[in-house]
Structure 1
C-alpha cells in the first residue's frame, strides 16, 4: 500500500467544513437571521444515498433530516446552525451560489461530493454539478484540477452537468482521496481504481 495522501479523507478528522463538498454538487446553502445561522441541503436520487449523506453529516456533528420529494428524490437538510454561517457566507453572493475565490478541495469535501452526486458511467467517474448554478462549473473544474484530478465538463442531457474524471491514475487518486466506501453505498456510485 502506498503512502496515504495528506489530503485524503482518511488522513484527518471529519469536520463541518467538509460540507463544502455538498455545495460542489447540487447542494444549497441558505442563510437566516441576517447571517447568524445557516443550513445546507442536498437532493439525492435514492434513499441509500440519503442515508449515507445523513450518516456522513452525523460523523461531522451535524444532524440532518430526510424528506421524500414528489419526484421520488430525497432531500437531506441540516437544521439552521451558527457553525454553518461561515460556509454559507463563502458560498453565497446574495442568494446566488458561488465558489469561494480561495477554494481548495480535500478528501473530506470530495467524499461528501461523491456521496451526494458521484457515479460511474461508461466513460469514467462523474461528480455531479448544480444545474441551477452553471457559473460554478468552471471554478469547480479548476479546483478539482488543482487537487490533482484534471476533469472535463460534461453537459450532456444524460447525467449532466458533471465533471468527468477518466484514466487509471486519476481514478486511483480520486479513490485515495475519498477513502473507502461507507457502509450501504452502492459500488456503482463510489470511486475505485
Structure 2
C-alpha cells in the first residue's frame, strides 16, 4: 500500500469545514438571526445513508438528526449553530447557493459528498449535484478537476445532475481521497478502485 495523500480524508482531522461536501451535492445552508447562526441539511435516499451522515457529522463535532422530509424523502439536518455561519456565508449569495471563489476539494469534503450523494453506475462513479442550483455545477466540476479528478457533467438526468468520474487511475485517486467506507454503507454507494 502506498503512502496516503496529504489531502486524504484519513490523513487529516475531521472538521466542521468538511460539511461543504454536503453543499457540493444536494445539501442546503440556511442562515438565521441575521447571520448569527446557520443550519445545514441534505436530502438522502436511505436510512443507512442518513445514519452514516449523522455519525460522520458527529465526528466533526456537529450533532445532526434524520427526519422525514417532503414527499417521503429523508433529511439529515443540524440545529442552527453559530459555528456554521462561516460555511453558510461562503455558500450563500443573497439566499442563492453558490460555490465559494477559489474553492478546493480535499478528502474530508469529498468523503461527505460521496456519503450524501455518491453512487456507482455502469460507466463510473457519480457524485450527485443540486438540481436546484445549476450555477454550482461547472465550478464544482472545475474544483474536482483541480483535485486530480477530471469528470463529465451529466445534466438533465431523471435521477438528477451528477459529475461522473471514470477510469482506473481516477477511481483509485477518488477512493484514496475519501478513505474506507463507513460501517454499514453499501458497496454500490462508496468509491473503490
What TM-score do you get using the length of structure 1 for normalisation?
Answer: 0.98
Q: Which residue of 1 aligns with 2:98?
A: 98
Taking the aligned partners of 1:90 and 1:157, their CA distance within structure 2 comes to 28
- Structure 1 residue 102, shift from structure 2 partner: 1.5
**Correspondence 1:26-65 to 2 at 5 A:** 26-65=26-65
**Correspondence 1:105-116 to 2 at 5 A:** 105-116=105-116
Taking the aligned partners of 2:160 and 2:130, their CA distance within structure 1 comes to 9
Question: Are 1:149 and 2:160 counterparts?
Answer: no
Q: Which residue of 2 aligns with 1:73?
A: 73
Unpaired segments of 5 or more residues in structure 1? none
Q: Equivalent residue of 2:71, what SS?
A: coil
Misfit runs of 4+, over 3 Å: none
Taking the aligned partners of 1:112 and 1:183, their CA distance within structure 2 comes to 14
Residue 45 of structure 1 contacts residue 72 of structure 1 at CA under 8 Å; is this kept in 2?
no
What is the root-mean-square deviation in Å for CA atoms of aligned residues? 0.8
Query: What's the CA shift string for 1:133-179, capped at 9, x where partnerless?
Result: 00000000000000000000011423330000000000000000000
Taking the aligned partners of 1:164 and 1:14, their CA distance within structure 2 comes to 25
Taking the aligned partners of 1:69 and 1:32, their CA distance within structure 2 comes to 20
- Structure 1 residue 94, shift from structure 2 partner: 1.0
Query: What's the CA shift string for 1:49-74, capped at 9, x where partnerless?
Result: 00011110000010011111353321
Unpaired segments of 5 or more residues in structure 2? none
Q: Which residue of 2 aligns with 1:5?
A: 5
Q: Equivalent residue of 1:104, what SS?
A: coil
Residue 25 of structure 1 contacts residue 129 of structure 1 at CA under 8 Å; is this kept in 2?
yes
Q: Equivalent residue of 2:89, what SS?
A: helix
Taking the aligned partners of 2:32 and 2:67, their CA distance within structure 1 comes to 21
Q: Which residue of 1 aligns with 2:179?
A: 179
